[in-house]
Each structure stands twice: as structure tokens, then as C-alpha cells.
Amino acid sequence: MNQNENNTRGYEFEMSGRDGSYVFEWPSLHVSCNVSRFKSYRDEDVKASMRFYTDRPTSADGFLTGGRVILESLSSKASLIKSLKERESELDWVKIVEQACNAALDDYRRGQKEVQLAEVDVKNHVKWVVTPGLLQEQNPTLIYGPGNTGKSWIGIWLAVMLDSGESSCGISVEPQQGKILYLDWETSEDEIGARVTMIRRGMGLQGPSTIWYKAMSTGLAQDIESIRNIIVSKGITTVVLDSLGSACMGEPESAEIVLRMFQALRSLKVTSLLIDHTNKEGHLFGSVYKFNASRVIFEARKSQQPDDDLIVFGLFHRKSNNSKLIRDMGFELSFEDDTAIFSRKDVRDTPLAEHMRVADQIAALLRRGAMTVPDIADELQKSEGHVRKVFSDNSRMFVRLNDNSGRYANAMHEEVAESLAPQGGSWL
């Protein structure tokens, strides 16, 4: 046996984990170490949290010691080694600490393994967990809107559908191989639990859900290791963040803070639904990187009259990276005897129609019959030039009637057929 083999005998270790969260075990020594919460600095130093444990009979309790360590700093590691020797003097802590620091640092810096791109089935490369066009597998969907819009109700409803595998109101969910985790910065376990129960009753589901819940008080990036452990141990495949602003835990205008949150979320490799708020101007609150980093985005609006026991929601599709924009969706939420019942609603028949695209507002208006440009402009409080441009940009949606009236109609409206029958029509 050579000297190197003699030095390493008994100090063989096993390493598990990924993406900046690792567990090291030395089985023959009855020692383990968790390495997490990595942070890189401009001088290329990398700092991480290291916590050592043991079940050796000579140790009073399982936890030995731990702290923040600069992984390539001799003085930083020396301080940790000294503390470990004071707790358990029989082991070669220099060797153990060096093994953990070097292996963790190598994997952390290596990142994702490079791969050679292969031919992809283009039609099927985007996998939808909730359709139409709501949640993509392992990608973030953002639903934002003003405060008290009922965004959390929508998020919980989608979570219940995913958890139960039951589709509802034209929303279809794929059978889930894993569980749902609800991360809550806004309310409480009791409130979210009550809403889950009410929605399940409204869907006719029996018994409790299997949704996991965690109340949050720090940012996602700051607590990413504990979240990752939950995901692995519970078999989580979809995570709901309520809300995105709190998950960032910092100045919402800061690109660095927002990007750090999305980087942490990406490392979890799960499907995610993010709920967020608008600013005073009605736009998505904070850095533009919230919009850029989300793959699918919906704006949520609600209509509710005083003393009403029902809420009308509208989801307006604002962005989709891998698919076309879908038509606006409307839903009604009513409350009966501690039960919450969702039903489908046509947005065009609600006060929320004003939030639709102008082309869709015109189409909804023309459902009542053909109209002239001035009448349409007056009805929608738009300029005539704006209306004409909408007609030009959406030539397949509308037709100008050939009856010398200057009126326009939806392309599929029955009045179009009557007008075109005798003399032909003029498509835009």
C-alpha cells in the first residue's frame, strides 16, 4: 500500500445534491456535512455555509459545528477546522474539510454539463401541464393584477385542479406524477387551507388535498436549499409563489434581485405559477426582468359589485414564448354554504370587456350588428384612425359591407352573408 492510499483509507466519502446544495457523508467515520447557500464575489472567492454532523458514540449530540466559509481561503477553513477539533479530536478534520470544500466548489463552478444538440420534435417540444396555454412544464407562468383582484383564488384553483387531476371550466390538466407546493408570503396556512377546502367542495371532490404548504418570511433565493429539500423529499413537480414581489425580497426595481430570484427558481427544475401585483399606473410592478424571465404572462382583472356574493374574473394573455396568444378567458366565482364554485364566463359579456385587445372589443361590439367607423370609435372612445388601423391589422376578422353604408361587420356574422349574396363583398 503506498503512502497516498494509507492517507485516504477510511476517508472515502459520498456526495449527493446539485445546483449549490450538497450533502457529504463519510460512512466509516459516521460524519456528514451539508454545504449550501453559495455566493460568488467579484474577486472570484466563493463562500458557502458548511454544517457538520456526526452519530459517533463519543459525541454528545449530532450537530458538531458550522459556519460561512470561503472555500479556497486557508484562514477561513482553518477557523472551521479548529472548531471541529474542539468538538471531536480523533478525526483528521483538515482532510475532511478539504475534501468537502474541493468537491463542492468543483461541482458548483462546473454548472450544467454541456450537451450536443440533437434533432427535436418541434411540434411536441413544448409540454403543457395546464391548457389552453396556461402552464408549461418546468417553466414559469406569471399572473399579475391590482391588489384584491382574486389572483390568489385563481392560483389556488389551478393548484387544486393539478393536485386532483380534475379539469374544470374548459381548463384541462395533465395527470401529475408529483405534488404541488404552495409558498405563501401573503396570508396564512388557515386561509389558504380554507380556500382549498371550499374549492374542492365546489368541484365535488371528497376528502383533503395533498397540496403541501409553506409560510415564507425570506426570499426564495435566500431559502432555496430548504425549498429544494422539500421538492426532493415530497416529490414536488409544481410550485406556486404568492407573491413574486415578496419572493424577490428586495427592491422590485432591481434587475439583480429579480434575476437572482428567477435563477434560484430555475435551479429547482419545476413548473411554477407566480402571482404578482401592479403599480399605481396599472403595469407589472418592478423590474422589466419580471416580464422578460416569465415564459407565459396573464393579466388578471375582476368585476364585483358591493354586497355581491360572486366575483367575475378575466385572464388576459399578454405574453407566450412558445405558443400563440390565446383568447381572453372569463370566470365567475360564487360562494354558497362554505363552498366556492367556479364557472366559465364570456369576457365579452362582462364589464371586463374594456381590458380586451381593441380588435376583440370591436368584434364584441359588432356581435350586435354592423357599424360604421365613427360609431365604433365613439362607442369605444378611440380615434377613427385607431379603429381603421385595427381593421387593417386584423384583416381576417372583419369585412366591409358592399351596401354603400360604410359599415363593417365580423367576418363570420350573418349580416355579411346577406350583404355579399347579391354583389360580392370587400374583405379588408
What is the Cα–Cα distance from 339 to 342, expressed in whole angstroms? Answer: 10
- Give the model confidence (pLDDT) of 355-406 as tens digits: 888 888 898 889 888 999 999 999 899 999 999 999 998 888 899 898 888 8
What is the Cα–Cα distance from 17 to 117, expressed in whole angstroms? Answer: 25
Answer whether residue 323 shows pLDDT above 90.
Answer: no
- Cell numbers at residue 359, please? 380588435
- Cell numbers at residue 70, please? 470561503
Provide the pLDDT confidence category of residue 163 given band limits of 50, 70 and 90. Answer: very high
- Give the model confidence (pLDDT) of 78-98 as tens digits: 999 999 999 888 899 999 999
Q: Is the pTM of this model over 0.75?
A: no
Provide the pLDDT confidence category of residue 59 given band limits of 50, 70 and 90. Answer: low
- Cell numbers at residue 120, please? 427535436
Length of the chain: 428
Provide the pLDDT confidence category of residue 111 given band limits of 50, 70 and 90. Answer: confident
- Cell numbers at residue 174, please? 395533465
**Residue 421 falls in which region: left (phi positive, over 0), alpha (psi -120 to 50) or beta:** alpha
For the chain, counts of helices (H) and of strands (E) = 13, 21
The mean pLDDT of the chain is: 87
Choice between 7 and 229, residue whose per-residue pLDDT is larger:
229
Q: Sketch out the chain's domains with CATH numbers.
A: 3-110 (3.30.160), 126-353 (3.40.50.300), 357-427 (1.10.10.10)
- Cell numbers at residue 69, please? 466559509
Choice between 207 and 274, residue whose per-residue pLDDT is larger:
274
Report angle CA 34, 38, 42 to the nearest 5 degrees.
Answer: 155
Contact 198, 338 (CB under 8 A): yes
Q: Which whole number is the average pLDDT over 14-40?
A: 87
Give the per-residue pLDDT at 16.
86
For 1-28, give one letter per residue: b (16+ CB within 10 A) or e.
eeeeeeeeeeeebeeebebbbbebbbee
Q: Which residue has the cell 415564459?
A: 295
Report angle CA 165, 171, 175 to the nearest 5 degrees.
Answer: 25
Give the per-residue pLDDT at 421.
42
